[in-house]
Amino acid sequence: MIVPREICEELSDREIIRKSLEQVDFFSCLYERYEKRLLRYIRRLTALPEDEVEDLLQESFIKVWENLNAYDPHLKFSSWLYRIVHNHVISYVRKKKSYGKDRKVEWTESRLSNLPDEDSGAWEGEEPEPEELVHELLDHLPLKYRQVLVLKFLENMSYSEISDILQLPEGTVATRINRAKKAFAKLSAGRHIHFDQ
C-alpha cells in the first residue's frame, strides 16, 4: 500500500513512527518528509558525486528503520535522524580516506545545479560570492570544523540540536564553532566572506 501524501502531511513525526512500527508502509512518510533536507545536508558535508550521496541516504534510512524501535520519544526526532545520517556519512568518508580514495570533485555545472536555491542568510559579504566558493573553502577545513559549520550555518541548527547530533556537550559545540569560524576566516581572507554572529 502506498500512503497518500495528504495523510503523511497530517501526521506528526511521532505518529508516523508509531504507525510505521505497526505497518511498514508508513515509513515512506518519513523518507518523503526528510529526503530533500538530508540529501542537501550530505552534499554540504561532503564533496561526493551525486550517486554516492543518494546511496548514503538510502543506507542511512535502512539504519533508521533498523533502529526505529530504539528511538527515544523524549528526543527531537529530526536530531535523532540527523545523528544517524551524520554518523553513517562520516564513517563512510573516513573509510574512503583511509583507503586513499578521497579525490576532490570538480565543480561542474551538474554539481552546481544540485546546490539549494534558497539563501540561508548565513553568509554575508560586501560582494556576493558564489555558493560553490563557500563549499570549496569548507572542503579545505578539517572534518570536525566543517561539520559544525554546516550544521550551524547551512542547516540552521541550534547548539542543542548540534549537541544531540554530534553527541558533544553544548560548550564543546560552541568552542568548536568558534575555532571553525576562525579557521574559515583564514581561508577566506581577502574574499569578503564571514559568518553571521
Return mean pLDDT, the chain: 82
Helix (H) or strand (E) holding 46: none
Instruction: For the chain, give the percent of residues with pLDDT over 70.
Output: 78
Mean pLDDT confidence for 136-160: 89
What pLDDT is stored for residue 75 in this prediction? 86
Enumerate domains of the chain plus CATH numbers.
118-197 (1.10.10.10)
What pLDDT is stored for residue 116 in this prediction? 42
Burial class (CB in 10 A: 0-12, 13-18, 19+), 30: buried
Mean pLDDT confidence for 97-107: 51
Give 33-56 pLDDT, tens digit per residue.
999 999 999 999 988 899 999 999
Burial class (CB in 10 A: 0-12, 13-18, 19+), 72: exposed
pTM: 0.75
Mean pLDDT confidence for 27-32: 95
Mean pLDDT confidence for 146-170: 92
